[in-house]
Amino acid sequence: MGKININEFTLEELEEYIESIGEKKFHAKQIFKWIHKIGVVSFDEMTDISKKLRDKLKESTYILNMEIIKCQSSKKDGTMKFLIKLLDGCAIESVFMVYNHGNTLCVSTQVGCKMGCKFCASTKDGFERSLSASEIEGQILTVERYTNKKISNVVYMGIGEPLDNYDNVVKSIRIINHPFGLNIGARHISLSTCGIVPNIYRLADENIQCTLSISLHATTDEKRQSIMPIANRYNIEELLNACKDYIKKTGRRISFEYALISGKNDSYEDAMELVRLLRGMIAHVNLIPVNEIKEKEYKKANERSIEKFMNTLNSCGIVTTVRRELGSDIDAACGQLRKKYIDNKKDCQKL
């Protein structure tokens, strides 16, 4: 039987495990703090734990320690893009961003993505597997060690669809949020989904006060289906009904992400239809100038049309902002750095 990944335990699970190996329950809190708050990578660093217990833990468990393959740093704004290697050799991406309100890390939840959104690079090399809760949290610990900077905000907006990895994502949020761990407030955690409707209802019942972001990107089912395959399964009405349920149960405002694609979804008519869809909801629209990923089909809307779209929404009472573009001089689009890594591996295998 192999060793157990101790990072994967919640505090309650760790307490049960510590008692199962004949030790006092209170040691679980000490160990949990060392792993999740301080971020140690060796049991020998746990100075308030007896050598006997440390040796016992070494025999049966290990501390997850993920490797940074590559880091790209933006000379424009300090954004850092990390390619992180998992223990099985798979690679994921995390993006470190500096804002006035603190340091934010965008984390991945899967290796690759099943969703197939036409404008996203994450789906180009297919789906390999979902991440464990500890691999999700591990991105934060890894980047904090590398940068020596505290992460105060986390966005589940990297590679993968968070609600397609529901149990591990919810568990990771609880671990990240725990006061004995990273203690990142739930209101400083955002989760972005392309719209897996049943799991939006589930999330509303979890009593987690995180911010839900919905990747909407179109105002009609026909347009949405042409760019987001998930729309063939759940239509806009079903999606918005789930959002209304989330708002009712949590009291939290939902952020609707809308990637503006030139000539596709950026017209005045699109803006007015978006107003109609969202009117009466506690909602915010985040306009995203779409990243161009070596595709001819989708082009970024120009600044004038982005401003007009924003002004139309704001004038109708829908609070709208344009996402600040960070890391424009590095492989900022989600999935691009991983795709290069995979392409390079394939080239090496041919040699």
Q: Give the active site residues.
A: 93, 334
**Phi, psi (5° rounding) for residue 272?**
-70, -35
How far apart CA 158 and CA 119 sit, in angstroms, is 14
Contact 254, 203 (CB under 8 A): no
Burial class (CB in 10 A: 0-12, 13-18, 19+), 94: buried
How many CB atoms neighbour CB 218 within 10 A?
23
23, 60 contact by CB (below 8 A)? no
Distances (CA, A) of 101 to 64, 97, 188, 253, 328: 29, 11, 10, 19, 21
Instruction: Decide: 129 and 90 in contact? Cβ < 8 Å.
Output: yes
Asked if residues 113 and 161 have their Cβ atoms less than 8 Å apart, the reply is yes
Interacting residues of 180 by C-beta distance below 8 A, sequence separation 6+: 11, 29, 32, 33, 36, 37
How far apart, in whole angstroms, are the C-alpha atoms of residue 169 and residue 36? 16
| Residues in contact with 301: Cβ distance below 8 Å, sequence separation at least 6, in sequence order | 260, 261, 262, 266, 289, 290, 309
| Alpha helices, H only, the chain | 11-20, 27-32, 51-60, 133-147, 166-177, 197-204, 221-227, 236-250, 268-278, 303-315, 336-350
Can you tell me the distance from the alpha carbon of 250 to that of 329, in angstroms, rounded to the nearest whole number?
A: 38
- Residues 245 and 204: beta-carbon distance below 8 Å: yes
DSSP for residue 188 = G
Which structure tokens are listed for 170? 């919810």
